[in-house]
Structure 1
């Protein structure tokens, strides 16, 4: 779900088996993407995976680094990540969203060769598109809670100039 003129293009790692079966991003029960998107203020209510089409009305889109479905992201090869990064760069160049939000620091590091990248805004740009790395909302990423993820997503929302859509997170920007 990509279109011209998006404020933010969210980019997951690759489809899980449930997402591949349903055709909906972040479809596995327990994945925190949809609740965090709402808590961060990107959407006025919590969307279900089958409502992903509504993202476009908020200036948001969604895609993946790698198209191949797997049970776990660690089943992907380094070559798949690099090729996915190349294809993602072409997609971002074509559609020129304001921000590319890669959901998963390891995926970003692998796809773009940025070994020391961390969560937050990146130095890299793709044309005029800025890049932000977000924590992976998978339940396997237990050291990030829904609340702490929502704070990071809200930082991106504010940077992207996305109007508050009803989220309930107060954001404090860390001092440098």
Structure 2
């Protein structure tokens, strides 16, 4: 899955890894039931609900997408701790190169494992990657039943408030 990157990003959203479905169709968060695009819209990051095939509109809004691990899987729980740690090293280098204002990691377990922060919680992290602040959000996959669409929208909105507020 190619990253959706550019200079001057306000937020670089970082999934755990692409689904097999996303890899086949070539768009991030494309699997039916993934709640990323609805949460992005409901939080006010976008003025309308974008479809995955419209992902190229994000950079003009100051938003980008990448993943911790590049390997597509049916479910993120098959990734090894070693894959996540290696992905974390690559992600840190990418963030230092592109310097988004915020990195939004979409998955608390991925952040904890990839960056060795086992006690991390959702929200703004005390650690930064270079000059980039890190914010952790829940995984928006439809397989993650711990968060309702309304709860995801609220958490995405909290990030947007901080990003837009300075």
Q: Pick the TM interval, shorter chain.
A: over 0.9
Match of 2:131 in 1: 128
Q: 1:4 aligns with which of 3, 7, 10?
A: 7
2:100 & 2:33 partners in 1: Cα distance? 28
* Alpha-carbon displacement from aligned partner over 1:47-98 (angstroms, at most 9, x marks no partner): 1111110001110000000000111101111110000000000000000000
Q: TM-score, normalised by structure 2?
A: 0.96
1:45 & 1:18 partners in 2: Cα distance? 23
Residue 76 (str. 1) matches residue 79 (str. 2) = yes
Structural mapping, 1:55-134, within 5 Å: 55-134=58-137
Structure 1 residue 158: Cα displacement: 1.1
* Alpha-carbon displacement from aligned partner over 1:109-167 (angstroms, at most 9, x marks no partner): 111000011111001101110000001111121121111111110110111117xxxxx
Structure 1 residue 45: Cα displacement: 0.4
Residue 139 (str. 1) matches residue 150 (str. 2) = no
Aligned residues: 163
1:136 & 1:41 partners in 2: Cα distance? 18
After TM superposition, what 4+ stretches of structure 1 lie above 4 angstroms from structure 2?
none
2:154 & 2:79 partners in 1: Cα distance? 29
Structure 2, unpaired ranges of 5+: none
Q: TM-score, normalised by structure 1?
A: 0.90
Residue 159 (str. 1) matches residue 162 (str. 2) = yes
SS of residue in 2 equivalent to 1:66: coil
1:153 & 1:84 partners in 2: Cα distance? 23
Structure 1 residue 18: Cα displacement: 0.5
CA RMSD, 1 decimal? 1.2
1:135 & 1:69 partners in 2: Cα distance? 19
SS of residue in 2 equivalent to 1:161: helix
